[in-house]
Amino acid sequence: MRKTNRVRPYSARIALLAGALATVSLPLADMTAMAAAGIVKVGSQQRSQTIKLGLNKSVVLDLPQDAYDVLVSNPTIADAVTRTSRRIYLFGKQVGQTNIFVFGQNGEQVASIDVEIERDVSGLSSQLKRLIPGSDIRVELINDNVVLTGTVQTPQDSAQAAKLAGLFVSGGEATTGQYSTTASAPTDGGGVAINNPDWGGRRQSAIVNMLTIVGEDQVTLKVTVAEVSRSVMKQLGVNMTGSGVSNGISYGGGFPRISQAPLATTFPIPGSASRRATFPPICGRWNRQA
Q: What is the DSSP string of 238-282?
A: --EEEEEEETTEEEEEEESSGGGS-S-EEEEPTT-SS-EEEE-TT
> How far does the chain reach from its first CA to its final CA, in angstroms?
158
Residue 186 has pLDDT above 60, yes or no: no
Number of domains in the chain: 3
- pTM exceeds 0.75, yes or no: no
In a domain, 189, yes or no: no
What tens digit of pLDDT does each residue of 208-237 get? Answer: 999 999 866 667 777 787 665 556 556 565
What tens digit of pLDDT does each residue of 127-152 get? Answer: 999 999 999 999 998 878 899 999 99
Mean pLDDT of the chain: 69
Residues 174, 175, 181, 185, CA torsion sign: positive
What tens digit of pLDDT does each residue of 30-40 get? Answer: 444 445 557 77
Same-domain check for residues 93 and 130: no
Domain boundary among 76, 100, 118: 118
In a domain, 128, yes or no: yes
pLDDT for position 53: 87
In a domain, 216, yes or no: yes
Higher pLDDT, 73 or 175: 73
Same-domain check for residues 159 and 139: yes
Name the pLDDT band for 169 (thresholds 50, 70, 90).
confident
Same-domain check for residues 127 and 215: yes
Its domain, for residue 270, covers: 232-289
Identify the CA nearest to 164 among candidates 134, 199, 139: 139
pLDDT for position 103: 92
Share in percent of the chain as helix, strand, coil (round to 5): 25, 35, 40
Q: What is the DSSP letter of 166?
A: H
In this structure, the chain runs to a length of 290
In a domain, 197, yes or no: no
Q: Domain of 126: which CATH number?
A: 3.30.1340
Same-domain check for residues 108 and 37: yes
H-helix or E-strand spanning residue 159:
helix 155-172
Domain boundary among 92, 118, 144: 118
Cβ atoms of 290 and 275 closer than 8 Å? yes
In a domain, 181, yes or no: no
Identify the CA nearest to 32 among candidates 130, 141, 177: 141
In a domain, 259, yes or no: yes
DSSP 14-36: HHHHHHHHHTSPPPHHHHHHHHH
Q: Domain of 101: which CATH number?
A: 2.60.40.1080
Q: How far is CA 92 from CA 10, 27, 36, 44, 209, in A?
A: 44, 21, 12, 24, 27
Cβ atoms of 173 and 202 closer than 8 Å? yes
Same-domain check for residues 138 and 44: no
pLDDT for position 218: 64
Same-domain check for residues 248 and 168: no
Same-domain check for residues 112 and 125: no
Same-domain check for residues 127 and 208: yes
Higher pLDDT, 123 or 37: 123
